[in-house]
Each structure stands twice: as structure tokens, then as C-alpha cells.
Chains A and B, each alone.
Chain A
């Protein structure tokens, strides 16, 4: 039992915090206001080695490991949640290619992703397959030359800016067999559809994808035929550590604004931080965020050691995102009317964090994963 961060982890924390405060936070309101994809931030992440944190230098990565990754993502999301989710999905895509890809796939895509030449995207969700991801209907028909994809995907983060997208599709209908494909933009028959207007993380691009007679070579399959769901679930286990960290980053920023505000704002002749009504909110928020951080670090630690961590990642994601939402609500309440206006960042934090209990597995799916592990 040792709760210290290593020197390397401390360095990552300091570096990314500095970057996020100096460069990301000041632009976050504008990125949100204009629903503008933060391409410049994405490039900065690449320059600092933050887009390939989970694979080795041979493929352009920095192999910083899951704990450092959790720290870095938290700090980035604390400054700009939209930049954070772009980073999360790019790292997740790269890691899946590293883990399940052939050397030629790794060599083609990983240096590109870590260098920030486009983002990575992960296309699992369909109009009729949300939490029930296994119920997807995009079909990949095999013929002599490769596969032909038909179907559509929705809510795909990074979809419009991706240089490679992992697409999950059925390769066999009975019995159902799902496989994963690496699809590049510009592939005939692959088109990017409508961009969603969202409540929060508005700088992150979220699009639908459609595949019409989209032909891909056999060599574009990631892993073996039928391994698609396994790849997706494994990627999501890691992804959940990322989203949990994103939630902690957003909520910490909200709490920090609320704490400073409580010290400055005077009502009834004293700083509102002197009132127990406000103190209670801050104490509960800080306690829950510390607890969330411990759960996230534990899951990342298990992952780093190569131990099973699926239940722990779900616990971390469930707890961190639910607690994070409560904390952002609380923070807005502490600021009162000022919390509701855009002059302060807290209303954005609340809009941004709302999605974290939804994407990469809703809280309900996390509870399913956890209770299955418990009930056996």
C-alpha cells in the first residue's frame, strides 16, 4: 500500500496541469460557445506525447502507463472537457490497435495518432444499439477481395476528425459474430453524416457515420473474425478509466471555482464560506472527489499490473461520474445566480460533465457489470 505518485507521475501531473491552465482553460469558453473542434489543443497534446500514452515508443507512443494517463486526462479535462474527450478516445483507439492489431496496422496508424495527425474514433453505437451494444446491425459481407460494409453508426466522438475509425460490424448473422475493422476517411462508400448539437462538450465533434457498399480490404480487420465484441469491451474497460478521470477533472475545476467564490462572496456581513450551509457542500464534494480519485487510481493500477480490472473500472466510472455530477451541481448552487451565467465557467462544467454518466457505458451499464461480478 503506497499512495505516493512516482516521480514520473508527478512530472506528468505538473506538466499537463501547466499546459491545461495556460493554454486550454483560457480558450475553453470560446470552444464551447462556438462549438469549435479544438484542433490546436489536439496538436499541443501530440507535441507533449499525450495522445499515445498507452503504447511504446517503437510506434510513436510514450507508454506512460494507465496511472499517468488518468492523471493527464484529468488535468486536460479540468481545463477543457472537449479537448479531454478527444484525447481519451484517441488514446483508446490507439491502445486497441496496439493490443489487437498486426504489426503493419500498428506501424500505419499508431505513429499517426500519437503525432496528432487526425484523431482516433471508435464506432460501436448505432441508432438501435446503445447500451445493448451487441445488438448492432451494421453488416460486413465477406467476398473474395475483402469485406463490404453496410449500415450506420451514431454519436461517434471524433468521427469527423479521425484519421482512423474502429468500426464494429456483424460478419455473420447466425450465429451472430461481430468483428472490428479499421476504416480510413475517404474510403468509397464511407461518409460522415450529421453533426450533433449537444448540451455540453460542444467542442468535441459527434457525428453519425454511414457505410454504403463500403469496401475494405481483408487486412483492415482488427483482430480475428468474431473478436469484435471482445475488442470493444476491452477498449471500454480502459476507456472507463479515462472518462472517470475526465469527470474528476471537470468536477475539481468546478469545486475550485466554488471554493474561491465562497471565500470572496460576502452576504449577511460575512464570507459565505463562513456559513455551515456552504461548508457542508464543499466538504461533501471534496470527500467524494477524493474517494473517486482513489477508485480511479486503483483501477489504473490493476490495469498497469496486467490484472483483471473490469469491475474496478466500472466502479471508478460509476462513482466518479455520479459524484462529479453532484459536485458540479453543488458548485453552481454555491455561486447562485453567478453560477448560472456564462461569465463563470461552472454552468459549462455542469453541461460538460452531464455526458459522463452516459457515454462509454451509462451508469446503468456500470451497475450491471458490477452486480454481475458480485452475484456471479
Chain B
């Protein structure tokens, strides 16, 4: 049991923290206000190797471990949750499945530019009728010689408007239900791929979310990830990793709520003293700080297990469940400690609140995490 960070982990923590403080934080309010995609930040993050942190260098990544990834995600999220989710989707949901399930040719063609941050990825799993029940895919892929013909609609796809590449899930054999799902790597410029409705969201507003429509899209068979019917496995395996990223994002948001509230409570005077002198406020701060530390340890444990190629579904779900609900509790308390100032946009507390909420929903709602955890407990 060793809780020290490695030298590499400390380095990326310093780098990410410094970058987040200097470059990201000053822009976060404006990005949110204007729902503006932070193109320049993504470019800078690519230069730092943040778009493919755990991808080996030979495939364009930074060649670091998943604990490094969680650390960097937390730091970027501390400054701007929107910027962080763009990074997370590229790392966990686009690069990781191609690294794990793609052929060498596909890795060269699609992974290298994404991991190096020259191109951006998205993950097409959710459909209007397939949210938590991801197995009920309606998008179809029908074999046609060396191609598949894809038809269908995906919605709520993070990064879709800017993405060059999509890891897409389709139904190739309806009779087999979730065992008939197949995953492909799609070039977003292909004929028949178009963007649908651009969502307006409560939070993470600088991250773009839209639907993607596929009409008679011809996908080369070589772009398949794994075999026919492997798609559900690809999706679940990918999400096990993605949940580590979202857990880390949630911790970053929780920290933002906490650190801002702590600073405010030291400054704000009422009844003749700084409000942090009151136990009412101290209790909230102590509880948030404790929960954040607990959430981070759960998250690093899951990342550490992933690095060792241990099965980590339950641990990823625990990390994501606990961290996201901690972020929400921290955000509620953060607003409360600010009082009226927490409710107005002059202070970032209300943005943290809006940003925190999504972490309990995407990449598996809290309810889905509890299903995963309970299944693991009751199986034994």
C-alpha cells in the first residue's frame, strides 16, 4: 500500500495544475456564458500530450498511465469542466477502444491523429430510445461486400460538432439483442453523416453536444472494432475506463466548489467575524474535504487497477458513483456557503453546480453504477 505519486504522476499534476490555473481558469466563465468551444485550449492541451495521455507514444499518445490521466483530468476540471469533458471523451471513449480493439491499420489511420490531438473523437452509443438501456440499439449496419451500410440516429453525442472521428455502435443482428451489436470507426466527413440538433444545456456549456444522423453511410469492413457482435463488450469495456475520467472530472468540479467556498468563507464577515469561524460553515467544509479525498482514492484505485489490466468494472462504478454524487453535494454546499453570491454568475459557484449535475448522468447514470456494483456484490 503506497499512496505516494510517482515522479511522472507528480510532474503531470504540476503541469496540468499550472496550465489550468494560467490558461483555462481565466476563460471558464466566458466559455460557459457564450457556450463557446475552447478550440485554442484543446490545441494547447494537444501540445501537452493531454489528448492521449494513456496511449503509447508509438500511437501518438503521451505513454503515461491511467493514474496520470485521472490526475490531469482533475486539474483541468478544477478550472473548466467543459474543457475537461472534451479531453475525457477523446482520451477514454475515442482513443481507448481503438487502442484496445482496433487493427494496426485502423490505429495508424485514426488513433495516431486523435491521440496526438490533431483530430478530435466522439463516441456514438446513445440513441433517442437507448439511454441507460444501451443494448436496445436501433442504428443498423448491414453487410454489403467489403462494406457495411449504416442507418440511424445517435443523440447527446459530446464533441460531435467538432469531431473528425466517431466510435459508433450499431445493430448488425437484431435477433441476438445486445450480442448483435457491432462497433465501427467512422470518419465524420463521410457521405451520409450529418449533424442534427445542437443541444442547449444546463452546464458544461462550452462542450458541444449534438445528434448525429447516419443515412446510407458506407463503412469499410476494416473499420470494424473487434468482430461482429463484439460491440456491447467494446462499449462496456470502454465505459469502465471512461468512468475513471468522469470520476476525475467530478473530483475537479467538487474541488472547485470547495476551494472557492473556502476562500469566500475566510473573506466574508458576518456577525463580526469571518464566516469560516462558525461551526455551521466549518462542518460543511470538513465534510466536503473528506468526501473529496475519499472520492479521489476510489478513483485512483480504479485507474491503478486498469493500469495493471485487472478487472475494474465494480471499482470504476464505485469511483464514478461516489465522485459524481460528491461533486453534486459539494456544489450544493458551495452555493450555500456563498449565500446570495452563490446564486449569481459573478461568482463561479453556480456554474460548478450546473456542471456537477451532468457527472451523475453521463457515461452511466448513478442508477446504472449501482446496478453494476450490486450485480458484482450479489454474484459472489
Q: Which residues of B lie under 8 Å from residue A263 when comparing CB positions?
A: 378
Q: Which residues of B lie under 8 Å from residue A174 when comparing CB positions?
A: none
Q: Is A131 on the interface with B (CB-CB < 8 A)? A: no
Interface pick from B92-100, B143-151, B237-245, B366-374: B366-374
B378, A287: Cβ atoms closer than 8 Å: no
B1, A3: Cβ atoms closer than 8 Å: yes
Q: Is B198 on the interface with A (CB-CB < 8 A)? A: no
Q: In the complex, what residue of chain A is closest to B379 when comparing beta carbons?
A: A263
Q: Which residues of A lie under 8 Å from residue B287 when comparing CB positions?
A: 367
Q: In the complex, what residue of chain B is closest to A70 when comparing beta carbons?
A: B1
B378, A3: Cβ atoms closer than 8 Å: no
CA–CA, A4 to B298, complex, Å? 14
Q: A residues 272-298 with Cβ under 8 Å of B?
A: 273, 276, 279-280, 282-284, 286-288, 290-292, 294-295, 297-298
CA–CA, A371 to B276, complex, Å? 9
A3, B304: Cβ atoms closer than 8 Å: yes
B378, A259: Cβ atoms closer than 8 Å: yes
Interface pick from B18-26, B41-49, B211-219, B289-297: B289-297
A282, B286: Cβ atoms closer than 8 Å: no
Chain A: residues with Cβ within 8 Å of the partner, total of 42
CA–CA, A74 to B362, complex, Å? 36
Query: B116: shortest Cβ distance to chain A, in Å?
Result: 26
Given contacts A3-B301, A283-B369, A295-B297, contact A318 B290 (CB under 8 A): yes
Q: Is B167 on the interface with A (CB-CB < 8 A)? A: no
Q: Is B174 on the interface with A (CB-CB < 8 A)? A: no
CA–CA, A201 to B67, complex, Å? 41
Q: Which residues of B lie under 8 Å from residue A67 when comparing CB positions?
A: 1
Q: Which residues of B lie under 8 Å from residue A301 when comparing CB positions?
A: 1-3
Question: B6, B276, B295, B370: which contacts A1 (Cβ < 8 A)?
Answer: B6
Q: Is A370 on the interface with B (CB-CB < 8 A)? A: yes
CA–CA, A263 to B379, complex, Å? 9
Q: B residues 283-314 with Cβ under 8 Å of A?
A: 283, 285-287, 289-291, 293-295, 297-298, 300-301, 304-305
Question: A4, A5, A315: which contacts B290 (Cβ < 8 A)?
Answer: A315
Q: In the complex, what residue of chain B is closest to A285 when comparing beta carbons?
A: B377
Q: Which residues of A lie under 8 Å from residue B276 when comparing CB positions?
A: 371, 375
CA–CA, A1 to B2, complex, Å? 5
A235-256 toward B: CB 8 Å interface, digit per residue (1/0)?
0000000000000000000000
Q: Is A302 on the interface with B (CB-CB < 8 A)? A: yes
Q: Is A104 on the interface with B (CB-CB < 8 A)? A: no
Q: B residues 185-212 with Cβ under 8 Å of A?
A: none
Q: Which residues of B lie under 8 Å from residue A318 when comparing CB positions?
A: 286, 290
Q: Is A191 on the interface with B (CB-CB < 8 A)? A: no
A2, B378: Cβ atoms closer than 8 Å: no
CA–CA, A169 to B286, complex, Å? 31
Q: In the complex, what residue of chain A is closest to B266 when comparing beta carbons?
A: A375
Q: A residues 337-376 with Cβ under 8 Å of B?
A: 366-368, 370-371, 374-375
CA–CA, A4 to B3, complex, Å? 10
Question: B5, B282, B369: which contacts A375 (Cβ < 8 A)?
Answer: B282
Q: Is A262 on the interface with B (CB-CB < 8 A)? A: yes
Q: Which residues of A lie under 8 Å from residue B266 when comparing CB positions?
A: 375
Q: Which residues of B lie under 8 Å from residue A262 when comparing CB positions?
A: 378
Query: B223: shortest Cβ distance to chain A, in Å?
Result: 36
Q: In the complex, what residue of chain A is closest to B297 when comparing beta carbons?
A: A294
Q: In the complex, what residue of chain A is closest to B375 when comparing beta carbons?
A: A279
B1, A371: Cβ atoms closer than 8 Å: no
Q: In the complex, what residue of chain B is closest to A366 when comparing beta carbons?
A: B286
Q: Which residues of A lie under 8 Å from residue B1 when comparing CB positions?
A: 2-6, 9, 67, 297, 300-301
Q: Is A37 on the interface with B (CB-CB < 8 A)? A: no
Query: B300: shortest Cβ distance to chain A, in Å?
Result: 6
Q: Is A190 on the interface with B (CB-CB < 8 A)? A: no
B265-288 toward A: CB 8 Å interface, digit per residue (1/0)?
110000000001001001101110
Q: Is B54 on the interface with A (CB-CB < 8 A)? A: no
Query: A371: shortest Cβ distance to chain B, in Å?
Result: 4
CA–CA, A5 to B1, complex, Å? 5
Question: B67, B285, B318: which contacts A287 (Cβ < 8 A)?
Answer: B318
Chain B CB count within 10 A is highest, among A9, A282, A287, for A287
CA–CA, A276 to B5, complex, Å? 38
Q: In the complex, what residue of chain A is closest to B282 when comparing beta carbons?
A: A371
Question: A259, A280, A282, A374: which contacts B289 (Cβ < 8 A)?
Answer: A374
CA–CA, A2 to B276, complex, Å? 36
Given contacts A319-B290, A375-B266, A375-B276, contact A287 B5 (CB under 8 A): no
B289, A370: Cβ atoms closer than 8 Å: yes
Query: B310: shortest Cβ distance to chain A, in Å?
Result: 10
Q: Which residues of B lie under 8 Å from residue A315 when comparing CB positions?
A: 289-290, 293-294
A1, B5: Cβ atoms closer than 8 Å: yes
A3, B305: Cβ atoms closer than 8 Å: yes
A286, B2: Cβ atoms closer than 8 Å: no
Q: Is B249 on the interface with A (CB-CB < 8 A)? A: no
A292, B294: Cβ atoms closer than 8 Å: yes
Q: Which residues of A lie under 8 Å from residue B295 when comparing CB positions?
A: 291
Of the A-B pairs whose beta carbons lie under 8 Å apart in the complex, a sample of 24, sorted by A's number, is A1-B2, A1-B304, A3-B304, A4-B1, A67-B1, A263-B378, A273-B374, A282-B378, A283-B321, A283-B377, A286-B318, A297-B1, A298-B3, A298-B297, A301-B2, A315-B293, A318-B290, A319-B290, A319-B291, A368-B286, A371-B282, A371-B286, A374-B262, A374-B285
Instruction: Give me the 8 closest cross-chain CB pairs, A-B, nearest first.
Output: A279-B374, A294-B297, A371-B282, A283-B373, A291-B294, A370-B286, A283-B370, A367-B286
Apart from A290-B301, A300-B1, list 20 A-B contacts with CB within 8 A: A3-B301, A259-B378, A263-B378, A279-B370, A279-B375, A282-B377, A283-B370, A283-B373, A283-B377, A287-B298, A288-B322, A291-B322, A295-B290, A301-B1, A302-B3, A319-B290, A367-B279, A371-B282, A374-B285, A374-B286
